[in-house]
Amino acid sequence: MVTTTQNTDGPLPPPTERRRLRESRSLTKAQVAARVGVSRSTIRAWESGRRVPHGREGAAYARLLRALAAPAAAEETTAAEETTTAEAAPETPPGAATAPAPSPTAAPAAASAAVAAARTAPVTAEPLTPAQAFDALYAFCAPALVRQTYLLTGRRELARESVERAFQLAWQRWPELARDRDPGGWVRAVAYDCALSPWHRFRPRYRHPEPPPADPAGHALLHVLLTLPPSYRRTLVLYDGVGLDLPETAAETEASTPAAAMRLTHAREAVAARLPELADPAELHRRLLELASKEQLRAGRPTVIRAGCERQNVLWTRAAIAFTVTIVGATTLTLRTAPTHYEAPIAPAQAVEGVPAVGVMGPLSREEQALRAKLGAAAKGPERLLPEPG
Protein backbone atom coordinates (compact mmCIF):
# COMPACT_ATOMS: atom_id res chain seq x y z
CA MET A 1 0.00 0.00 0.00
CA VAL A 2 1.35 3.42 -1.01
CA THR A 3 1.42 5.99 1.75
CA THR A 4 1.23 9.65 0.86
CA THR A 5 3.26 12.37 2.50
CA GLN A 6 2.48 16.06 2.36
CA ASN A 7 4.97 17.83 0.12
CA THR A 8 6.12 21.17 1.51
CA ASP A 9 7.12 22.51 -1.90
CA GLY A 10 3.72 22.51 -3.56
CA PRO A 11 1.64 19.88 -5.34
CA LEU A 12 3.27 17.53 -7.79
CA PRO A 13 1.90 16.52 -11.20
CA PRO A 14 0.63 12.95 -11.72
CA PRO A 15 3.23 10.20 -12.28
CA THR A 16 2.52 10.01 -16.01
CA GLU A 17 3.02 13.77 -16.33
CA ARG A 18 6.32 13.53 -14.45
CA ARG A 19 7.62 11.05 -16.97
CA ARG A 20 6.29 13.10 -19.90
CA LEU A 21 8.07 16.22 -18.66
CA ARG A 22 11.35 14.34 -18.32
CA GLU A 23 11.11 12.79 -21.78
CA SER A 24 10.07 16.09 -23.36
CA ARG A 25 13.49 17.49 -22.39
CA SER A 26 15.34 14.29 -23.46
CA LEU A 27 16.52 13.56 -19.92
CA THR A 28 17.29 10.08 -18.64
CA LYS A 29 16.39 8.78 -15.19
CA ALA A 30 20.06 8.87 -14.25
CA GLN A 31 20.37 12.55 -15.17
CA VAL A 32 17.29 13.49 -13.18
CA ALA A 33 18.52 11.40 -10.24
CA ALA A 34 21.88 13.19 -10.32
CA ARG A 35 20.18 16.60 -10.24
CA VAL A 36 17.84 15.68 -7.40
CA GLY A 37 20.39 13.68 -5.39
CA VAL A 38 18.68 10.28 -5.33
CA SER A 39 19.15 6.94 -7.06
CA ARG A 40 17.76 6.03 -10.45
CA SER A 41 15.46 3.42 -8.89
CA THR A 42 13.89 6.18 -6.78
CA ILE A 43 13.09 8.22 -9.90
CA ARG A 44 11.58 5.11 -11.46
CA ALA A 45 9.40 4.59 -8.38
CA TRP A 46 8.29 8.23 -8.37
CA GLU A 47 7.33 8.10 -12.04
CA SER A 48 5.44 4.83 -11.67
CA GLY A 49 3.52 6.04 -8.60
CA ARG A 50 4.84 3.37 -6.25
CA ARG A 51 6.40 6.03 -4.01
CA VAL A 52 5.60 9.66 -3.24
CA PRO A 53 8.42 12.25 -3.15
CA HIS A 54 8.92 13.84 0.24
CA GLY A 55 11.54 15.68 2.25
CA ARG A 56 14.34 17.69 0.71
CA GLU A 57 14.61 15.32 -2.23
CA GLY A 58 10.91 15.68 -2.93
CA ALA A 59 11.18 19.46 -2.80
CA ALA A 60 14.12 19.42 -5.21
CA TYR A 61 12.18 17.07 -7.49
CA ALA A 62 9.17 19.41 -7.46
CA ARG A 63 11.34 22.39 -8.36
CA LEU A 64 12.90 20.44 -11.22
CA LEU A 65 9.48 19.47 -12.59
CA ARG A 66 8.35 23.08 -12.45
CA ALA A 67 11.49 24.12 -14.31
CA LEU A 68 10.82 21.50 -16.97
CA ALA A 69 7.23 22.66 -17.33
CA ALA A 70 8.15 26.37 -17.33
CA PRO A 71 9.46 26.56 -20.94
CA ALA A 72 6.25 25.11 -22.40
CA ALA A 73 4.12 27.48 -20.31
CA ALA A 74 6.36 30.40 -21.23
CA GLU A 75 5.99 29.54 -24.93
CA GLU A 76 2.19 29.47 -24.68
CA THR A 77 2.07 32.73 -22.66
CA THR A 78 4.45 34.50 -25.04
CA ALA A 79 2.46 33.42 -28.09
CA ALA A 80 -0.80 34.62 -26.50
CA GLU A 81 0.74 37.94 -25.49
CA GLU A 82 2.17 38.52 -28.95
CA THR A 83 -1.23 37.82 -30.53
CA THR A 84 -3.03 40.17 -28.10
CA THR A 85 -0.46 42.92 -28.55
CA ALA A 86 -0.57 42.66 -32.32
CA GLU A 87 -4.36 43.03 -32.29
CA ALA A 88 -4.67 45.79 -29.67
CA ALA A 89 -1.55 47.93 -30.02
CA PRO A 90 -1.60 50.73 -32.61
CA GLU A 91 0.99 50.93 -35.27
CA THR A 92 4.16 52.76 -34.33
CA PRO A 93 4.77 55.82 -36.46
CA PRO A 94 7.99 55.85 -38.44
CA GLY A 95 10.85 57.34 -36.50
CA ALA A 96 9.15 56.99 -33.12
CA ALA A 97 11.28 55.81 -30.20
CA THR A 98 10.69 52.34 -28.90
CA ALA A 99 11.05 51.17 -25.33
CA PRO A 100 14.26 49.28 -24.62
CA ALA A 101 14.03 45.55 -24.09
CA PRO A 102 14.35 44.36 -20.48
CA SER A 103 17.82 43.33 -19.41
CA PRO A 104 18.39 39.56 -19.25
CA THR A 105 20.06 39.99 -15.89
CA ALA A 106 16.93 41.50 -14.38
CA ALA A 107 15.02 38.20 -14.37
CA PRO A 108 17.29 35.14 -14.24
CA ALA A 109 14.35 32.77 -14.11
CA ALA A 110 12.83 34.24 -17.27
CA ALA A 111 16.20 34.08 -19.01
CA SER A 112 16.58 30.42 -18.10
CA ALA A 113 13.10 29.72 -19.40
CA ALA A 114 13.90 31.55 -22.63
CA VAL A 115 17.08 29.52 -23.12
CA ALA A 116 15.22 26.28 -22.55
CA ALA A 117 12.47 27.40 -24.92
CA ALA A 118 15.07 28.26 -27.56
CA ARG A 119 16.53 24.80 -27.24
CA THR A 120 13.15 23.15 -27.73
CA ALA A 121 11.87 25.58 -30.38
CA PRO A 122 11.81 24.39 -33.99
CA VAL A 123 15.07 25.02 -35.80
CA THR A 124 14.73 27.46 -38.66
CA ALA A 125 18.40 27.57 -39.63
CA GLU A 126 20.04 25.33 -42.16
CA PRO A 127 20.23 21.65 -41.17
CA LEU A 128 23.48 20.23 -39.88
CA THR A 129 25.86 18.61 -42.29
CA PRO A 130 26.78 14.95 -41.70
CA ALA A 131 30.17 15.99 -40.31
CA GLN A 132 28.60 18.49 -37.91
CA ALA A 133 26.03 15.95 -36.71
CA PHE A 134 28.76 13.36 -36.16
CA ASP A 135 30.92 15.86 -34.26
CA ALA A 136 27.98 16.73 -32.02
CA LEU A 137 27.33 13.08 -31.23
CA TYR A 138 31.03 12.51 -30.56
CA ALA A 139 31.32 15.51 -28.26
CA PHE A 140 28.25 14.37 -26.31
CA CYS A 141 29.05 10.64 -25.95
CA ALA A 142 32.81 10.12 -26.25
CA PRO A 143 34.06 11.52 -22.90
CA ALA A 144 31.62 9.52 -20.79
CA LEU A 145 31.97 6.44 -23.00
CA VAL A 146 35.76 6.32 -22.51
CA ARG A 147 35.28 6.34 -18.74
CA GLN A 148 32.64 3.61 -18.92
CA THR A 149 34.89 1.44 -21.10
CA TYR A 150 37.70 1.90 -18.59
CA LEU A 151 35.48 0.29 -15.94
CA LEU A 152 35.10 -2.74 -18.22
CA THR A 153 38.78 -3.23 -19.08
CA GLY A 154 40.87 -1.44 -16.45
CA ARG A 155 43.11 -0.18 -19.30
CA ARG A 156 43.17 3.46 -20.27
CA GLU A 157 44.65 3.08 -23.75
CA LEU A 158 42.37 0.17 -24.63
CA ALA A 159 39.33 2.18 -23.57
CA ARG A 160 40.34 5.06 -25.82
CA GLU A 161 41.08 2.77 -28.77
CA SER A 162 37.75 0.96 -28.39
CA VAL A 163 35.76 4.19 -28.36
CA GLU A 164 37.62 5.60 -31.35
CA ARG A 165 37.11 2.35 -33.26
CA ALA A 166 33.39 2.42 -32.49
CA PHE A 167 33.07 5.98 -33.77
CA GLN A 168 35.05 5.10 -36.90
CA LEU A 169 32.52 2.35 -37.64
CA ALA A 170 29.76 4.84 -36.90
CA TRP A 171 31.17 7.30 -39.41
CA GLN A 172 31.38 4.56 -42.05
CA ARG A 173 27.69 3.80 -41.52
CA TRP A 174 26.60 7.35 -40.79
CA PRO A 175 23.85 7.61 -43.45
CA GLU A 176 22.15 4.64 -41.80
CA LEU A 177 23.09 5.49 -38.21
CA ALA A 178 21.90 9.10 -38.50
CA ARG A 179 18.32 7.82 -38.82
CA ASP A 180 18.66 5.50 -35.83
CA ARG A 181 16.52 6.25 -32.80
CA ASP A 182 19.47 5.83 -30.39
CA PRO A 183 22.82 6.33 -32.16
CA GLY A 184 24.61 6.74 -28.82
CA GLY A 185 23.44 3.30 -27.72
CA TRP A 186 24.70 1.77 -30.97
CA VAL A 187 28.14 3.33 -30.49
CA ARG A 188 28.22 2.23 -26.84
CA ALA A 189 27.43 -1.39 -27.75
CA VAL A 190 30.16 -1.45 -30.41
CA ALA A 191 32.71 0.12 -28.06
CA TYR A 192 31.92 -2.44 -25.34
CA ASP A 193 32.27 -5.29 -27.85
CA CYS A 194 35.65 -3.97 -29.00
CA ALA A 195 36.87 -3.50 -25.43
CA LEU A 196 35.83 -6.99 -24.28
CA SER A 197 37.23 -8.80 -27.32
CA PRO A 198 39.30 -11.83 -26.22
CA TRP A 199 41.91 -11.19 -28.93
CA HIS A 200 43.47 -8.33 -26.96
CA ARG A 201 45.24 -10.84 -24.72
CA PHE A 202 47.52 -11.81 -27.62
CA ARG A 203 48.75 -8.26 -28.17
CA PRO A 204 52.21 -7.75 -26.61
CA ARG A 205 51.35 -4.35 -25.11
CA TYR A 206 48.37 -5.78 -23.21
CA ARG A 207 50.09 -8.74 -21.60
CA HIS A 208 51.16 -6.66 -18.59
CA PRO A 209 48.72 -4.83 -16.27
CA GLU A 210 48.55 -1.05 -16.20
CA PRO A 211 49.16 1.04 -13.06
CA PRO A 212 46.10 0.93 -10.80
CA PRO A 213 44.19 4.02 -9.67
CA ALA A 214 45.88 6.15 -7.06
CA ASP A 215 42.87 6.00 -4.73
CA PRO A 216 42.95 2.76 -2.65
CA ALA A 217 39.17 2.54 -2.65
CA GLY A 218 39.06 2.93 -6.41
CA HIS A 219 41.81 0.35 -6.80
CA ALA A 220 39.86 -2.16 -4.73
CA LEU A 221 36.63 -1.56 -6.67
CA LEU A 222 38.36 -1.87 -10.04
CA HIS A 223 40.06 -5.09 -8.95
CA VAL A 224 36.70 -6.57 -7.96
CA LEU A 225 35.15 -5.52 -11.27
CA LEU A 226 37.92 -7.17 -13.27
CA THR A 227 37.43 -10.46 -11.41
CA LEU A 228 33.80 -10.67 -12.60
CA PRO A 229 32.95 -12.50 -15.84
CA PRO A 230 32.71 -10.12 -18.80
CA SER A 231 28.93 -10.55 -19.16
CA TYR A 232 28.37 -9.81 -15.42
CA ARG A 233 30.73 -6.85 -15.55
CA ARG A 234 29.00 -5.37 -18.60
CA THR A 235 25.55 -5.80 -17.07
CA LEU A 236 26.66 -4.14 -13.82
CA VAL A 237 28.23 -1.17 -15.60
CA LEU A 238 25.18 -0.64 -17.81
CA TYR A 239 22.63 -0.87 -14.99
CA ASP A 240 24.42 0.65 -12.00
CA GLY A 241 26.94 2.79 -13.85
CA VAL A 242 25.20 4.11 -16.96
CA GLY A 243 21.71 3.94 -15.48
CA LEU A 244 19.84 1.88 -18.09
CA ASP A 245 16.66 0.02 -17.27
CA LEU A 246 16.72 -3.74 -16.98
CA PRO A 247 15.00 -4.36 -20.36
CA GLU A 248 17.40 -1.93 -22.06
CA THR A 249 20.36 -3.63 -20.37
CA ALA A 250 19.11 -7.03 -21.47
CA ALA A 251 18.65 -5.83 -25.05
CA GLU A 252 22.15 -4.32 -25.23
CA THR A 253 23.79 -7.43 -23.77
CA GLU A 254 21.73 -9.68 -26.12
CA ALA A 255 20.16 -11.57 -23.22
CA SER A 256 16.68 -12.09 -21.88
CA THR A 257 15.42 -9.90 -19.07
CA PRO A 258 15.52 -12.75 -16.46
CA ALA A 259 19.07 -13.60 -17.53
CA ALA A 260 20.14 -9.95 -17.20
CA ALA A 261 18.50 -9.78 -13.76
CA MET A 262 20.37 -12.92 -12.68
CA ARG A 263 23.69 -11.53 -13.91
CA LEU A 264 23.07 -8.26 -12.10
CA THR A 265 22.17 -10.03 -8.86
CA HIS A 266 25.26 -12.25 -8.94
CA ALA A 267 27.51 -9.30 -9.83
CA ARG A 268 26.17 -7.23 -6.92
CA GLU A 269 26.60 -10.16 -4.57
CA ALA A 270 30.20 -10.65 -5.68
CA VAL A 271 30.98 -6.95 -5.18
CA ALA A 272 29.25 -6.87 -1.79
CA ALA A 273 31.15 -9.97 -0.65
CA ARG A 274 34.49 -8.27 -1.33
CA LEU A 275 33.41 -4.71 -0.48
CA PRO A 276 30.53 -4.78 2.06
CA GLU A 277 30.16 -1.01 2.04
CA LEU A 278 28.94 -1.24 -1.58
CA ALA A 279 25.96 -3.48 -0.81
CA ASP A 280 23.69 -0.45 -1.33
CA PRO A 281 23.03 0.05 -5.10
CA ALA A 282 22.99 3.84 -4.66
CA GLU A 283 26.44 3.78 -3.04
CA LEU A 284 27.70 1.42 -5.74
CA HIS A 285 26.43 3.81 -8.42
CA ARG A 286 28.17 6.73 -6.75
CA ARG A 287 31.47 4.87 -6.42
CA LEU A 288 31.39 3.77 -10.04
CA LEU A 289 30.92 7.35 -11.20
CA GLU A 290 33.65 8.53 -8.83
CA LEU A 291 36.11 5.89 -10.03
CA ALA A 292 35.52 6.74 -13.68
CA SER A 293 35.64 10.50 -13.19
CA LYS A 294 38.96 10.51 -11.30
CA GLU A 295 40.89 9.01 -14.22
CA GLN A 296 42.36 11.41 -16.75
CA LEU A 297 40.79 9.79 -19.80
CA ARG A 298 40.43 11.77 -22.99
CA ALA A 299 39.33 10.81 -26.46
CA GLY A 300 40.73 12.24 -29.67
CA ARG A 301 39.11 15.06 -31.56
CA PRO A 302 36.23 14.17 -33.87
CA THR A 303 38.04 15.62 -36.89
CA VAL A 304 40.92 13.22 -36.26
CA ILE A 305 38.50 10.29 -36.00
CA ARG A 306 36.79 11.19 -39.27
CA ALA A 307 40.11 11.77 -41.04
CA GLY A 308 41.48 8.44 -39.79
CA CYS A 309 38.33 6.64 -40.88
CA GLU A 310 38.46 8.17 -44.34
CA ARG A 311 42.16 7.40 -44.65
CA GLN A 312 41.49 3.81 -43.68
CA ASN A 313 38.72 3.59 -46.26
CA VAL A 314 41.09 4.88 -48.95
CA LEU A 315 43.72 2.28 -47.99
CA TRP A 316 41.18 -0.55 -48.04
CA THR A 317 39.87 0.63 -51.42
CA ARG A 318 43.35 0.74 -52.89
CA ALA A 319 44.14 -2.69 -51.48
CA ALA A 320 40.94 -4.11 -52.98
CA ILE A 321 41.77 -2.56 -56.37
CA ALA A 322 45.33 -3.93 -56.26
CA PHE A 323 44.08 -7.39 -55.33
CA THR A 324 41.54 -7.31 -58.16
CA VAL A 325 44.18 -6.23 -60.68
CA THR A 326 46.47 -9.04 -59.49
CA ILE A 327 43.72 -11.64 -59.98
CA VAL A 328 42.91 -10.29 -63.45
CA GLY A 329 46.59 -10.33 -64.45
CA ALA A 330 47.11 -13.87 -63.17
CA THR A 331 44.00 -15.05 -65.01
CA THR A 332 45.13 -13.41 -68.27
CA LEU A 333 48.60 -14.92 -68.00
CA THR A 334 47.12 -18.36 -67.39
CA LEU A 335 44.89 -18.11 -70.45
CA ARG A 336 47.80 -17.03 -72.64
CA THR A 337 50.21 -19.75 -71.54
CA ALA A 338 47.80 -22.67 -71.13
CA PRO A 339 48.04 -25.46 -73.86
CA THR A 340 45.25 -25.61 -76.45
CA HIS A 341 45.34 -29.41 -77.01
CA TYR A 342 46.08 -32.52 -75.05
CA GLU A 343 49.61 -33.91 -75.09
CA ALA A 344 50.10 -37.42 -73.80
CA PRO A 345 52.77 -37.61 -71.18
CA ILE A 346 56.04 -39.39 -72.10
CA ALA A 347 56.64 -42.43 -69.99
CA PRO A 348 59.89 -42.31 -68.10
CA ALA A 349 62.70 -44.63 -69.26
CA GLN A 350 63.08 -47.93 -67.45
CA ALA A 351 65.96 -50.42 -67.44
CA VAL A 352 65.15 -53.87 -69.01
CA GLU A 353 66.82 -56.80 -67.32
CA GLY A 354 67.77 -60.22 -68.84
CA VAL A 355 68.92 -58.94 -72.24
CA PRO A 356 72.20 -60.68 -73.32
CA ALA A 357 75.11 -58.48 -73.95
CA VAL A 358 75.92 -57.64 -77.54
CA GLY A 359 78.81 -59.82 -78.68
CA VAL A 360 81.67 -58.91 -80.94
CA MET A 361 81.26 -59.84 -84.63
CA GLY A 362 83.43 -62.85 -85.64
CA PRO A 363 83.32 -66.56 -86.44
CA LEU A 364 80.70 -68.63 -84.62
CA SER A 365 81.77 -71.00 -81.96
CA ARG A 366 80.86 -74.66 -81.97
CA GLU A 367 77.96 -74.12 -79.60
CA GLU A 368 76.62 -71.26 -81.67
CA GLN A 369 76.84 -73.29 -84.84
CA ALA A 370 74.93 -76.15 -83.17
CA LEU A 371 72.28 -73.69 -82.02
CA ARG A 372 71.99 -72.25 -85.54
CA ALA A 373 71.55 -75.71 -87.02
CA LYS A 374 68.88 -76.50 -84.47
CA LEU A 375 67.02 -73.30 -85.15
CA GLY A 376 67.32 -73.83 -88.92
CA ALA A 377 65.83 -77.27 -88.62
CA ALA A 378 62.91 -75.92 -86.61
CA ALA A 379 62.26 -73.17 -89.13
CA LYS A 380 60.46 -74.23 -92.33
CA GLY A 381 61.40 -71.19 -94.38
CA PRO A 382 64.35 -70.74 -96.70
CA GLU A 383 67.78 -70.30 -95.36
CA ARG A 384 68.88 -66.85 -94.53
CA LEU A 385 71.18 -65.23 -96.99
CA LEU A 386 74.54 -64.53 -95.50
CA PRO A 387 77.10 -62.21 -96.98
CA GLU A 388 80.14 -63.98 -98.23
CA PRO A 389 83.44 -62.76 -97.07
CA GLY A 390 85.32 -60.94 -99.82
Element (H, E) at 323: helix 302-337
CA pseudo-torsion sign 273, 274, 275, 281: negative
List of domains in the chain: 1-80 (1.10.260.40), 128-183+190-211+301-332 (no CATH), 216-292 (1.10.10.10)
Whole-angstrom distance, CA of residue 16 vs CA of residue 21: 9
Whole-angstrom distance, CA of residue 369 vs CA of residue 109: 142
Cβ atoms of 149 and 290 closer than 8 Å = no
Residue partners of 7: CB distance under 8 A and separation at least 6:
52, 53, 54, 58, 59, 62
Q: Give residue 267's pLDDT.
A: 93
Q: Give residue 314's pLDDT.
A: 85
Whole-angstrom distance, CA of residue 305 vs CA of residue 171: 9
- How many C-beta neighbours within 10 Å does residue 159 have? 26
Q: Give residue 4's pLDDT.
A: 40
Name the DSSP class of 228: S
Please give the angle made by the CA atoms of 130, 134 and 137, to the nearest 5 degrees.
145
| E strands, 214-331, in order | none
Averaged over successive runs of 10 residues, the pLDDT of the chain (390 residues) comes to 43 84 82 86 83 84 86 50 43 38 35 40 63 88 89 89 91 88 90 89 80 86 92 92 89 91 94 92 89 78 81 86 94 89 82 70 80 76 62
Q: Give residue 24's pLDDT.
A: 80
CA pseudo-torsion sign 125, 130, 131, 137: positive
Q: Give residue 8's pLDDT.
A: 43
Q: How far is CA 195 from CA 73, 119, 220, 304, 307, in A?
A: 45, 35, 21, 20, 22
Length of the chain: 390
DSSP string, 114-150: HHHHHHHSPP-SPPPPHHHHHHHHHHHHHHHHHHHHH
Whole-angstrom distance, CA of residue 181 vs CA of residue 298: 26
**Short-list 218, 222, 217, 214, CA closest to 155:** 222
Q: How far is CA 193 from CA 21, 111, 281, in A?
A: 34, 43, 25
